[in-house]
Structure 1
Amino acid sequence: MPPNLRKLTNPQTLPNFVLGKESGSSRIGELGPLLHLRGTLSISRLENVNGAADATMANLGHKNGIDGLLLEWNKGEIADLDVLRSLQPPRMLKELTVNGYGSVRFPTWMENPSIFSKMVLMRLEDCNGCRLLPPLRLLVSLKKLIIVGMSGVENIGSDFYGVGCLKPFPILESLSFETMENWENWSQLETKAGIEGFPQLKELSLRRCPKLNDKLPESLPSLETLVVRGCEQLVISIPAEGLTRLKDLKVHGCKEMSSVWQDELRQLTSLEHLQIDDSSLRHPTLMRVGEEARQLELCLPTKVQTLELSYFCNLVKVPEVMHLTLLEELHIFGCTSLTCFPESGLPSSLRVLQIESCENLISLVRDDEYSSNCTPPPNSNSNCLELLKIQNCPSLKSTSSAVTGSFPVRFKNLYIKYCHALERLCSGKLPGTLRNLEIHYCYSLIYISSEGELPEALESLCIEGWKMLKSLKSLKAGLPKELRRLRIAFCGQLESIANKFDEINATCLESIELSHCGNLRSVPEGLHHLINLSELCIIECKNLVSLPEGGLPASNLRELIIDTVAYPKGMLQDLIFLQKLEIPYSEGLTRLLVEEGFPPNLICLIIYDLKEIKPLFHRRFLHRLTSLRSLSLIGEATDMVSFLPEPENEHEKDGRMGTLMLPKSLISLHISEFENLVKLSTGFQCLTSLQFLSIRACKKLKSLPVGGLPLCLTDLVIHNCPLLKKQCTRSHFVKI
């Protein structure tokens, strides 16, 4: 921080105070006179404090307007206990974070209830030198406690609860331990009245505590959420009467649940959401045992609404879940042996089914051709199913239902990704209720439906990486009437989409993206009739050389990204609502700009493949864009030696180049890959609104403007400009 902050007159906010080692940097004592600070104060690089006397001069205890305080040392730096002792916060503090403190213990003020009578949140992070937690049990207002990365702690017990304390943490609602690498034992608090503590705790989270092998507290009467992840030695046992309010249970990467865990789960009568993985459950539903398989019932409370099973390597069949009449979501991840679903099907209440990375799953249909041993789910039972998402299932060949050959009547969303063996989505029609369809990289897909139709109510269609797709003309009814968003990408064989956009598409289509379709030769006729089209993107379609007759729709187009087509006369002149334009530069563009100019209301302009840049500036094509906020210029223009370019006329050589060539409204400027750019001109001073400047891959650029950069600049990015790096010093950037 710059020196002499103490001389500021009555500052009230100082979010971040950074201490430095350099002479002339602010010392922590600069904070002393600033008694009217309020809100949150962060003090970092505290390893640069010169002892307790220096820290005392900060006078933190008298800054009663501060309700949040962060005290931070760089991780690995030596921390002085006396320094932290001298940084005692004000009594009205509500939130305290101590980060990177490396001494062996904490000061006594951290456990003083008279100091922290208002404290509701405390976070201790990366305090690796401390072997004991401070006794925080007397902080009667504490509601949330987060302890992260304290590798020196091996045991948590009386040091944490406090000796003789009958009911510690009386109103604590959330307790989280994360990345406690050496924590082994969590001793429970025992009193004459039994095991007590945490009477109001609603959320308990244990993450990445690999050596913890003790049991969890037994009496947590208010607990609603329990999260245990990456605690490999922990055996979880559910107490007989202690978790009656538990609604959300997530267990991943633990040694195992207790051997009677299935019976115990039935006691969780309030459980609504369950996530569990194979390492925590040693009895997945259907296991391979030699040549035989045996099925075990998954005994869950009937109120379960969300069930997630992940990485059950031996799971062959999805558990029987028909008794879960309130089940709305079923997620299955990484079950590499999974081939089928239970014969009884899935609950009719199911709305979301997600299957990911199940490499042996062949089909969701009852079809002996695809599965000779197991029968898949009759999805017709799940008449509430709205979303089916299948990803990374390379053996999957079909997705449709066993009974109807189609999907449930309420079905709205279908997402299929990276299913390389998929040949068909369904053998009949897709449901008329389908709204969103996405197909990504299903290389073997032959057709979407055997009847060659898309539902008329379909609103969004995304096809990516379908190698065998040559045309959408095969669709009997053309594009759906209600289609709003169309995206087709990386379909190398695609030659055509449709003959034309007819009247039924004219009022609905809002977004079209055609990208990386090398064989695409034409855009459907009638493009200019799409009166509600707001986004059009056509890139990397090398055989697409022109737009259809009539050009672009002008009435509502807001964003245009186009790179391969010629620029027909009149292409830009009517786009008065266009806000974003991304195009490559060419001689054709220059001619078009001479005749029409850029659309007048552009906010964002990106021009790449620039071969020459002087015409762009000297004819003031950019200066006229009075609403322009963001400009990116990318290319190898050999005539770009100075940016902004030197003026051609004598009357322009008055330091006003920035005003003459770029609009004053510009906030963000990005220039990149100009191989001959040597300097930045003084015209930058005229860009009085410029806040962000990015300069990349200009390898001959040697210097910043002689008169400096605009005073309003807040962000500067310089990348891969080796000569500029050598010339720049701290003095260039101190005002940014």
Structure 2
Amino acid sequence: MLLHPLPPAENTQVSVQPLLTYPALEKNSNDLSVMSSKELRVLDAKILAFQNLTDVTSLHIGHCPNLVFLSFEGFRQLLNLRKMVIVSCGNLVSSCIVPGVSETWNATNYPAFPRLGHLKIESCGGIAGKWLTEMLPHMQSLEELDIEDCPQMKSISIHRPRQEVETGRLASQAVLPRLAQDEFGLYIPLNILSTLEKLHIRRCPGMQLYGSKEGYGGFTSLTELVITGCPMLLSSADERFSLPPSVPDLHIEFLPRRLQPYFPENTSIRFLLVHESPDLQYLNLHFCTALQELQIHNCRQLAVLEDMQYLSSLRILSIEMNPELSASWVRKCQEVEEGSSHARLLPPLLGKLSIRHLQDDLAPYLLAHLPFLRSLVVLNSPNLIFLQLGCLATLKNLWIEDCRSLTSLQGSLSYLEVCFCDSQNLTSLQLGSLAALKDLTVYSCDWLTPLETLPSLGNLTDLAIYDCRSIAPLLELLSRQPEGFSIFPQLERLYVDDSSALATSFCKHLTSLRYLRITDSDVICFTDEQEKALQLLTSLQDLSFLGFLNLIDLPAVLHSLHSLKKLDVKGCPRISRLPEKGLPPSLELVAIERCSEELQEQCRMLTTGKLKVQIYNYG
């Protein structure tokens, strides 16, 4: 038996699974969810006791594909509702009038959503613009509007009707029919123009912009505009289309050939993301002097990026190059070097550069003009062979990924963090003196064997080597060092995925190592040499064995690690027991995760002194 409607009283916690025509209900504190009913058609007072939901601040309606009607009289009673999300309700159509139900959204001038601040409509293929047009005038405090994957919304207009401007009241029945004669058009009323701060429109492929020439400039409070997956929404705009001067964050795609007309002289944009614009050829950023971060991706025909040198506030640039843009940048850099041009290519105070498809001919010119660069990320540059970083005296972070042809990296720098990822052919690493280097990560660099600067890494504190066949040559190199010489005197943390790193020639240099994390899915047992090497780590405090899928026994010498305080064993299903000689008395914590029941049971019996045991078993 189920009493209708629910909940029976305000502040009641409710949890109901879907029953025939009744949806799943979850009410916890001030959040209410109405979900997962294929039969539900009308959400009214027969389903929900709206008078008992005045405490609800968040409402989620989802996965009710045949829902066609939301009760205006009911929603009027949700006086404290601040957020409403409607997802996958494909039959919520433009008209809210259902046979047998007389109420409509336009029957009164009193708002139904007086405090609603955030409205999101997603994957509702049946919702056309008219349905939302009828609801928006009731939202007097709306600050954020998200529209995603609603293909029946064919147009958006922010033209302000004369009657609205004069009276400032809710759009009445007399006004709306004239505005919304187009079933598929979305009209933004005056009350939304003055309150909306964030507007996100995604994946509405047929939506076009209609209305006044001021375009989005009519949104007087807008601070964030996101337009993605809407190829016609910008290309249909008038040439005088403009943005509100107050917008600091702009995400746009499918831009027309030229973008210059879209930026007014007094724009305050601080973050600009331009992507998925295959027709864009020309981008002028002259008036974006407040811009702090710029991202440009998947603009394959972009050939002219004008007036970048005027972006005095720009600190972060993420860009995907193409042959035309690279060639134009090389020409401009050459003009600067030859003295025929005094204009820099990029603003000199740029601090972080992330660049894809970097070419050999552009790299030396580009990096020579960035005297204050602190972070450099080079991605997906398969044709890059040589990279000279000697001019980047302030560089602190270097990340190189998927540069399969890179064979030489040179420069005398003082990095704090360095990472090499998917650079399989990197055979020459000549970075001069790296006296300040503290953090080095090498990932998927199979042939990194010379490592000519290793003897100078005196201040290295963190070293990670993953997916590399270079560990064995590295150990061979280290074994040639003079007796008593410590190549890593400051190294505190080591991360490796190859148990061969436990070699005497290597471990004898790790005099300051406190943390060791090691993984190896192939090894079955540790050799005598590896166990002896482990005993050399006399300062080790934290030891982790991760993902040893085939390992049968933990090292037998763990009891001799007198500084060890924490032992972590995760994802080692074949280990069934602790070492025969036990664990060191210094140990304070043992953490076991996804290991055998036998090992877990044995660890539960470790109740001596201050030792704590944590056991996790997921599934």
Q: 1:512 deviation in Å? A: 0.5
Q: Is the 8 A contact 1:515 1:537 kept in 2?
A: yes
Cα distance change on mapping 1:632 and 1:201 into 2, 3 Å: closer
2:427 pairs with one of 495, 500, 503:
495
Which amino acid in structure 1 is aligned with residue 402 of structure 2? Answer: G
- Name the structure, 1 or 2, with higher relative contact order (CA <8 Å, separation 6+): 2
1:1-53 deviations in Å (ceiling 9; x for gaps): xxxxxxxxxxxxxxxxxxxxxxxxxxxxxxxxxxxxxxxxxxxxxxxxxxx3x
Matched, 1:468 2:405: yes
Q: 1:169 deviation in Å? A: 3.2
Matched, 1:546 2:453: no
1:182-231 deviations in Å (ceiling 9; x for gaps): 22135352345x36321222111111111111242242321111111111
Task: Write the distance in 2 (CA, Å) between the matches of 1:280 and 1:253.
Answer: 9
SS in 2 for 1:667: strand
Q: Which residue of 2 aligns with 1:184?
A: 93
Task: Write the distance in 2 (CA, Å) between the matches of 1:238 and 1:202.
Answer: 15
Q: TM-score, normalised by structure 1?
A: 0.64
Q: Is the 8 A contact 1:285 1:315 kept in 2?
A: no
Matched, 1:629 2:567: yes
Matched, 1:440 2:379: yes
Q: Is the 8 A contact 1:644 1:658 kept in 2?
A: no
Matched, 1:202 2:120: no
Task: Write the distance in 2 (CA, Å) between the matches of 1:576 and 1:133.
Answer: 67
Task: Write the distance in 1 (CA, Å) between the matches of 2:122 and 2:597.
Answer: 54
Q: Is the 8 A contact 1:225 1:246 kept in 2?
A: yes
1:608-630 deviations in Å (ceiling 9; x for gaps): 597x866x544556886752331
Q: 1:175 deviation in Å? A: 1.6
SS in 1 for 2:318: strand
Q: Is the 8 A contact 1:328 1:351 kept in 2?
A: yes
Which amino acid in structure 2 is aligned with residue 102 of structure 1? Answer: L
Q: 1:101 deviation in Å? A: 1.6
The gaps in structure 2 that reach 5 residues or longer are 97-103, 154-184, 333-341, 607-611
Cα distance change on mapping 1:423 and 1:689 into 2, 3 Å: farther
Task: Write the distance in 2 (CA, Å) between the matches of 1:525 and 1:231.
Answer: 57
Q: 1:398 deviation in Å? A: 5.9
Q: 1:664 deviation in Å? A: 8.4
Where in structure 2 are the equivalents of 1:104-183 lying within 5 Å?
104-105=21-22, 120-135=30-45, 138=51, 139-156=53-70, 159-162=71-74, 168-183=77-92
SS in 1 for 2:604: coil
Task: Write the distance in 2 (CA, Å) between the matches of 1:125 and 1:595.
Answer: 59
Cα distance change on mapping 1:580 and 1:601 into 2, 3 Å: same
Task: Write the distance in 2 (CA, Å) between the matches of 1:140 and 1:591.
Answer: 67
Task: Write the distance in 2 (CA, Å) between the matches of 1:276 and 1:96.
Answer: 38
Where in structure 2 are the equivalents of 1:289-308 lying within 5 Å?
296-308=239-251
Q: Which residue of 1 aligns with 2:157?
A: none
Q: 1:438 deviation in Å? A: 0.4
Where in structure 2 are the equivalents of 1:536-685 lying within 5 Å?
536-537=464-465, 539-542=467-470, 543-548=473-478, 549=481, 550-561=485-496, 563=498, 567-569=503-505, 571-572=507-508, 574-582=510-518, 587=527, 589-590=529-530, 592-593=532-533, 596=536, 600-606=540-546, 617-620=555-558, 626-632=564-570, 643-644=576-577, 665-669=589-593, 684-685=600-601
Q: Is the 8 A contact 1:236 1:256 kept in 2?
A: no
Q: 1:263 deviation in Å? A: 3.6
Where in structure 2 are the equivalents of 1:690-701 lying within 5 Å?
none
Q: 1:303 deviation in Å? A: 1.1
Where in structure 2 are the equivalents of 1:53-452 lying within 5 Å?
81-82=2-3, 91-93=10-12, 100-105=17-22, 120-135=30-45, 138=51, 139-156=53-70, 159-162=71-74, 168-185=77-94, 187=96, 189-191=105-107, 194=109, 196-213=111-128, 214-216=130-132, 217-219=135-137, 220-234=139-153, 235-254=185-204, 255-260=206-211, 262-263=213-214, 265-277=216-228, 279=230, 281-284=232-235, 296-312=239-255, 315=257, 317=259, 319-342=261-284, 345-362=286-303, 375-391=304-320, 397=326, 404-417=343-356, 419=357, 423-425=361-363, 427=365, 429-445=368-384
Cα distance change on mapping 1:430 and 1:285 into 2, 3 Å: farther
Task: Write the distance in 1 (CA, Å) between the matches of 2:406 and 2:582.
Answer: 50
Q: Which residue of 1 aligns with 2:463?
A: 535
Q: Which residue of 2 aligns with 1:523?
A: 451
Q: TM-score, normalised by structure 2?
A: 0.75
Cα distance change on mapping 1:395 and 1:565 into 2, 3 Å: farther
Q: 1:583 deviation in Å? A: 6.0
Q: Is the 8 A contact 1:607 1:633 kept in 2?
A: yes
Cα distance change on mapping 1:170 and 1:634 into 2, 3 Å: closer
Q: Is the 8 A contact 1:424 1:447 kept in 2?
A: no
Q: Is the 8 A contact 1:658 1:684 kept in 2?
A: no
- Name whichever of 326-335 and 548-557 sits farther off: 548-557
Cα distance change on mapping 1:261 and 1:224 into 2, 3 Å: farther
Bigger helix fraction: 2
Task: Write the distance in 2 (CA, Å) between the matches of 1:241 and 1:443.
Answer: 52
Matched, 1:458 2:458: no
Cα distance change on mapping 1:574 and 1:334 into 2, 3 Å: closer
Q: Is the 8 A contact 1:560 1:578 kept in 2?
A: no
Task: Write the distance in 2 (CA, Å) between the matches of 1:660 and 1:596.
Answer: 15
The gaps in structure 1 that reach 5 residues or longer are 1-51, 53-80, 111-115, 287-294, 363-374, 672-679, 691-709, 718-736
Give the number of aligned pairs: 544
Task: Write the distance in 1 (CA, Å) between the matches of 2:442 and 2:594.
Answer: 26
Cα distance change on mapping 1:124 and 1:532 into 2, 3 Å: same
Cα distance change on mapping 1:241 and 1:634 into 2, 3 Å: closer
Cα distance change on mapping 1:682 and 1:304 into 2, 3 Å: closer
Which amino acid in structure 2 is aligned with residue 384 of structure 1? Answer: S
Q: Is the 8 A contact 1:623 1:663 kept in 2?
A: no
1:521-557 deviations in Å (ceiling 9; x for gaps): 2224454753352334265143545344344424351
Task: Write the distance in 2 (CA, Å) between the matches of 1:620 and 1:446.
Answer: 46
1:647-699 deviations in Å (ceiling 9; x for gaps): 9xxxx7xxxx877999784222556xxxxxxxx79565321289xxxxxxxxx
Task: Write the distance in 1 (CA, Å) between the matches of 2:569 and 2:14.
Answer: 42
Which amino acid in structure 2 is aligned with residue 440 of structure 1? Answer: L
Task: Write the distance in 1 (CA, Å) between the matches of 2:140 and 2:212.
Answer: 19
Q: Which residue of 2 aligns with 1:42?
A: none
2:437 pairs with one of 509, 513, 517:
509
Q: 1:328 deviation in Å? A: 0.8
Cα distance change on mapping 1:329 and 1:134 into 2, 3 Å: same
Which amino acid in structure 1 is aligned with residue 244 of structure 2? Answer: P
Cα distance change on mapping 1:96 and 1:397 into 2, 3 Å: farther
Task: Write the distance in 2 (CA, Å) between the matches of 1:103 and 1:171.
Answer: 30
Structure 1 vs Structure 2 CA RMSD: 4.1
Task: Write the distance in 1 (CA, Å) between the matches of 2:454 and 2:474.
Answer: 16
Task: Write the distance in 2 (CA, Å) between the matches of 1:540 and 1:185.
Answer: 59
Q: Is the 8 A contact 2:504 2:529 kept in 1?
A: no
Q: 1:307 deviation in Å? A: 1.4
SS in 1 for 2:37: coil
Q: Is the 8 A contact 1:285 1:317 kept in 2?
A: no
Q: Is the 8 A contact 2:559 2:584 kept in 1?
A: no
Cα distance change on mapping 1:684 and 1:120 into 2, 3 Å: closer
Cα distance change on mapping 1:664 and 1:334 into 2, 3 Å: same
Task: Write the distance in 2 (CA, Å) between the matches of 1:538 and 1:105.
Answer: 53
Which amino acid in structure 1 is aligned with residue 251 of structure 2? Answer: E
Which amino acid in structure 1 is aligned with residue 196 of structure 2? Answer: L
